[in-house]
Amino acid sequence: MSVLDAVSYVLPTPNYLRIPSAGVDVSDTSLKYILFEPDSYSGNKLQLKYWGDIDIADGALSRGEVADVDELSRVLKEVKSRTGVQHVRVSLPEERAYLFETAIKRDTPYKEVRGLLEFKLEENVPLSPRDAYFDYHIFDEPSDSSQLMVGVTVYARETVNSYYEACRKAGVIPLSFEVEAQAIARASIARGEQGTHMIVDFGKTRTGIGIVHRGELMYTSTIDIGGKELSNALRRQLGELPEHELTDIKNTQGLVRGSKDSRVYEAIVSTMSAIKDEITLRLQYWDSRATHTEDKYVDSVILCGGSCNLKGLPDYFTETLKIDTVRADVWQNALDIEEDVPPIGRRYSYGYATAIGLALTSFMQNL
């Protein structure tokens, strides 16, 4: 924890000075938003004020790249209309992010850090400093270490600028842009947790992978397989069924052997095996970098995303990956669900993990 973080923790910003901001999760097919407000009776609790899901026209975004700024602007205007807030925190696509670690001398003056990192960009990402935006986080290291490790996140300027332009046209002010997996970590990993966890965001069209170490995103990747492929596999076995029926089959039979129709398991397991193999490759790559650093080995896999309701999915990954796998508790850092049951159903809440994490940003020092 930095000095500024420590001061903010002891003397947090009063709630009346905080800028209300909605967490906005943008995918290729839809936009989800969440807005919290402080509990009027308790300054260290939140209430869920607004939430929703807005469809985005086909082709407006492709693999995270904005092809139609006006369409994205339209849905952002709708968020503003529904919530009444002008400020937003927006997700950026994992598949467009570049992450790397580097070391700097402990005695490097703070004002020189950014310039020093600019020189290291071209060594680590296929972008020049003039074509990139980047942010960084300095990790706490033992005081006797002569170096500090820095995690750097980089995006192409054109990617960020397209999201910014959509916000500008919609009349909303972006307070921050953030990689999806980092926002998910803020929602799904308990505050203060120092372990290493893999986040698997199982969406409709793709599966996002993030590895978080000591609360910070260190690695991200994307698998171009999602819930849509499971539906296609089921249709090949069961015939043309409407999507809502296929979703019910996935959620009630899924990856459980001996379900009432063995064709369901056979259809789903082949697709899930392909995802499992891709996850295994990424775990092997990560472990090869974590040699001799025991605390960097992945402790658990945390599932979220709209397609993670597949029955038997945590058990399947636990058995095949040999790592404990659980579905995310996406409300743990926002609400006490024993006292305040959120109006979003449990199955739907997994798809709101990114938006929840983004919306939490303004309140983390108070919670």
Domain ranges of the chain: 1-93+157-190+332-367, 192-328
Secondary structure of residue 304 in the 3-state scheme: strand
Distance (Å, whole) CA 43 – CA 6: 19
- Model confidence band, residue 81 (pLDDT cutoffs 50, 70, 90): very high
Q: Output the CA torsion 58→62→67→73 (10° steps).
A: 70
367 pLDDT higher than 80: no
Nearest to 93 by CA among 121, 119, 63: 63
Q: If one looks up domain 192-328 in CATH, what number appears?
A: 3.30.420.40
Share of the chain above pLDDT 90, in %: 62
- Model confidence band, residue 44 (pLDDT cutoffs 50, 70, 90): low
* Lowest mean per-residue pLDDT among 1-5, 17-21, 106-110, 301-305: 1-5
228 pLDDT higher than 60: yes
Secondary structure of residue 100 in the 3-state scheme: strand
Burial tier of 216 (Cβ tally within 10 Å: 0-12, 13-18, 19+): middle
Q: How far is CA 84 from CA 21, 73, 164, in A?
A: 10, 16, 19
Topology agreement, domain 1-93+157-190+332-367 and domain 192-328? yes
CB-CB contact of 320 with 200 (8 Å): no
Secondary structure of residue 219 in the 3-state scheme: strand
- Model confidence band, residue 18 (pLDDT cutoffs 50, 70, 90): low
- The model's pTM is 0.89
Q: Which residue has the higher pLDDT, 142 or 66?
A: 66
End-to-end CA distance of the chain: give it in Å, rounded: 16
Share of the chain above pLDDT 70, in %: 90
- What is the β-pairing status of strands 61-62 and 65-66? antiparallel
Print the SS3 string covering 182-203: HHHHHHHCCCCCCCEEEEEEEC
- Selection from 258-262, 266-270, 333-337 with the highest mean pLDDT: 266-270
What mean pLDDT is predicted for residues 166-177?
97
Q: Which residue has the higher pLDDT, 30 or 289?
A: 30
pLDDT of residue 4: 38
Q: If one looks up domain 1-93+157-190+332-367 in CATH, what number appears?
A: 3.30.420.40
